[in-house]
Amino acid sequence: MASRAHEQALAAMLSHLALSFDGAILGAALAYAAVRSFLNFTANSKSLAKIREAPTLSVSDLRSLLQNHDQDHQDQEQKLVIVRGQVEAKSAVDGSGKKSSRDSNVLLSQESGDKAVILQRTQTVPFTLVEGGQWPQSDYVIVNMDGSSHPLPLTMVYHQLQPIVASRYTFIQALFGHEYPVGVLHEEKILPLGKCISAVGICNSKDGIPEIKSCKELPYFLADMTKDEMVADLAFKAKILLWSGIVLGSLSIGVLGFAVMRNWNKWKLWRQRHSQQPSHTTSDEDVSQIDDDEDAGDVPEGQLCVICLMRRRRSAFIPCGHLACCHTCAISVESEVSPKCPLCRQPVRNSIRIFEC
């Protein structure tokens, strides 16, 4: 119960902060989210165009393509290709591309005992892609993982969830985009030998052997998807990002416009009151003197002005109707930029002087 009360108090504080300045902070946050959506849409569209133009090749055709590309484009940028093949340990091939000991230099899953080239993303051994059904007679391409931070198509071989009790910070974690912590997860993921995956990246020849490495501008490097599935996935994400940016941008314009107009009206009202203040104050000097004369005696504690605590309450605020201040303090409250009743904190339009019969 205590943690729930803390979360409710935090939510109330955040909502009050977001709506402060008549929603200007909320509008700025929406504008920032809209800009981020449009930037992500631009990057996603560029990646989509590159993947559409990239040729899909088999492992056996890659060497001939690289030879032709090196002869015709020696001074141009490297070739972006999509290669699909089966995972094989690099130690399983020698320089001639023939199969050697398959069990050498591979990782073993602690839970399932499966052979793999990547274990929990923290342990990796050099590996290649070979053409399924033709290995070891087919060619191979070396996968260069240096500098890659892309998601990997790992296979889960062990999964166990131990539930935990949510803490008082659970709401904050969920609010900032983290997954809701329902338990401690124990799992093991591997990239097993023989799995068919696609590699999207820059391909070149290293010592006569094809090698592919990641492209930082693309969201994929190694994936289970084919080229058509990647194109469909990126096209869907681009559409979502575009409409998200449009909706968030429209909302931010509306909220910021409302905040600007409301604060502009407040400023004009304050300026109007401020321009009338000198004459109003001069005319009220005699009234203030009358108040001092009338309140020269003892004033009951319940009738003292809540601001100065010296004079009798003489002015009621409109529209709330609270009789809270003397006439002098009521004028001071009205002269503020955003006048509010000192008792209920509701906006004040003006005040009315109360006379006793």
Q: How far is CA 21 from CA 256, 264, 320, 344, in A?
A: 10, 12, 22, 19
SS3 label, residue 33:
helix
Provide the residue ranges of all domains of the chain, joining segments of one domain with +.
54-242, 284-353
Q: What pLDDT is recorded for position 222?
A: 92
Instruction: Round the CA-based radius of gyration of the chain to a whole number and report it.
Output: 36
What is the phi/psi pair of residue 182, to 5°?
-95, -15
Residues 212, 81 contacting (CB under 8 angstroms) = yes
pLDDT 10s digits, 221-268:
999 999 999 999 999 999 999 999 999 999 999 988 888 888 788 778
CA distance 22 to 176: 23
CA distance 272 to 36: 41
- Is 50 exceeded by the pLDDT of residue 75? no
Residues 325, 291 contacting (CB under 8 angstroms) = no
pLDDT 10s digits, 45-58:
999 999 999 988 88
Q: What pLDDT is recorded for position 96?
A: 45
- Whose tokens are 């008082």? That residue is 168
- Mean pLDDT over all residues of the chain? 78
- Is 60 exceeded by the pLDDT of residue 140? yes
Note if the pTM is more than 0.85: no
In the structure, how many helices (H) and strands (E) does the chain have?
7, 15
CA distance 237 to 220: 14
Contacts of 72 (CB under 8 A, 6+ apart): none
pLDDT 10s digits, 176-229:
655 555 555 677 888 898 899 999 999 888 777 888 999 988 999 999 999 999
Alpha helices in the chain (DSSP H): 2-18, 20-53, 59-72, 170-175, 227-283, 285-294, 327-334
pLDDT 10s digits, 116-126:
888 877 788 88
- At the topology level, CATH places domain 284-353 in Herpes Virus-1 (3.30.40)
Tell me the angle at which helices 327-334 and 285-294 cross, rounded to the nearest 10 degrees: 140
Which of 95, 92, 85 is CA-nearest to residue 60?
Answer: 85
